[in-house]
Structure 1
Amino acid sequence: MTTAKRDTYTPETLLSVAVQVFIERGYDGTSMEHLSKAAGISKSSIYHHVSGKEELLRRAVSRALDGLFGILEEEHAREGHAADQLEYVVRRMVEVLIRELPYVTLLLRVRGNTDAERWALERRRDFDHRVAELLKAAAADGEVRGDVEVRLATRLVFGMVNSIAEWYRPDTRGAGEREVSEAVVRLVFGGLRRES
């Protein structure tokens, strides 16, 4: 008689399972028991990898935030006209969201109930502010419409991009990462760019 081989969990595979459980149950509604059942390992095995569920949350949202902040360090996000930088950043935001879909989805759902959530919200606000500054610079340069208030335009752009987390699934027929990112850029900048 052979016994079933138990999967070996690494911090990365455990994180992936935890993110799915957090998304399904909500962070506050998830216990270590829920995580151990979903992973098929004991709670003590989880504690071998992490100090608890808040560490898992922090690692998960860090992955999403690191992806987003990484965009701002890329050459096309730092050089050229502000409107071109902004267009590049919006395109890359969509790409990062799609590539890191569960992690960004979780980031978008944190509410600030724990230290890790408050930290994530603060970093997210910093990212949003930096993108808003690009929009403000593009407006000051006359590259985008001046008849839409910058804060409102920023919120609308983030609303469009962030909504992708609610409906996009990798198996969505005909809507791959590139197609979605290009559609967002066309819609956003078709409305934002000043007509020549």
Structure 2
Amino acid sequence: MSRLLAGKFSVNVEQTMDAAQSPFPSAQEKRAAREAKRAAVLRAAVQMFNERGFHQTSLDDVAARLGISKPTIYHYLGNKDQVLLECVSIGLGQLIEAAEQSRAREGTGADRLIAFLVRYAEVNMDDFGRCVIRTGDEALAPESRKRFRALKRQIDSDMRGLIAAAIEDGSIPPCDVRLMAFTLAGALNWPARWHDHGGALSSEAVARQMVGILARGFLPR
């Protein structure tokens, strides 16, 4: 083959490859696939922690449910303590996000507080929020425990801040902010233990009805 023909052949091949989609995944596609696999491992793990308890669930169990090997879990998430920390961090992160969104809402302080409480209850009935409620500090290694406690303190601070803001603008009567926060959290944490997703009421319906009952106790009459 002459150099001229070889050159033309090379150009034609390159043009054909450019016109067709590459059979190899792009860096973005690789990242998306990795995140999807990681999310699947986390969802399977958190559901098993909630069903069986953290100590009664092994990474072998999680791997078996997904049809993968235990080293695959180590590759995406690390050891069992790191998996649990990631699960509870997701649940607590959802609550922190809910507080941020509620503070940005229009309306009175009471409106913002109620919006947060509804979302708080909904999160606690989902897999990751349920794991937060069902996980004792002692289940985590010391360093992970510090992170867990810090995030829980943030949630408590956010709830107290929303209560205080509602008192300040007069949309709810003055009260002991700390005691009210404990009361509301205590009531809205319990559905994580008893709510059945296959039951008659959705988590959204349970959240709205419970917050409605609680709100009748702190809204002005």
Q: CA deviation at 1:180?
A: 1.6
**RMSD, matched Cα:** 2.2
What amino acid is the match of 2:214?
A: V
Q: Deviations over 1:104-153 (max 9, x none)?
A: 1111123223222331221111111111121122223332233x422221
User: CA–CA distance in 1 between the matches of 2:183 and 2:80?
Assistant: 33
1:61-80 residue pairs with structure 2 within 5 A? 61-74=88-101, 76-78=102-104, 79-80=106-107
What amino acid is the match of 1:97?
A: N
* Partner residue, 2:111: 84
What amino acid is the match of 2:171?
A: E
Structure 2 stretches lacking a partner, 5+ long: 1-35
Percent of pairs with identical residues: 27
Aligned residues: 182
Q: 8 Å contact 2:195–2:203 — kept in the other structure?
A: no
Q: 8 Å contact 2:124–2:133 — kept in the other structure?
A: no
* Partner residue, 2:124: 97
Q: Name the CA shift for 1:34/1:118 in 2 (closer, same or farther; >3 Å).
A: farther
User: CA–CA distance in 1 between the matches of 2:202 and 2:61?
Assistant: 33
Q: Name the CA shift for 1:178/1:23 in 2 (closer, same or farther; >3 Å).
A: closer
User: CA–CA distance in 2 between the matches of 1:186 and 1:112?
Assistant: 31
Give 3-state SS (helix, strand or coil) of 2:137's partner. coil
Q: Name the CA shift for 1:127/1:166 in 2 (closer, same or farther; >3 Å).
A: same
Q: CA deviation at 1:158?
A: 0.7
TM-score by length of 2: 0.72
Asked if 1:132 is matched to 2:160, the reply is yes
1:23-172 residue pairs with structure 2 within 5 A? 23-74=50-101, 76-78=102-104, 79-98=106-125, 101-113=126-138, 114=141, 115-146=143-174, 148-172=175-199
Asked if 1:177 is matched to 2:193, the reply is no
Q: 1 or 2, which has the higher helix percentage? A: 2
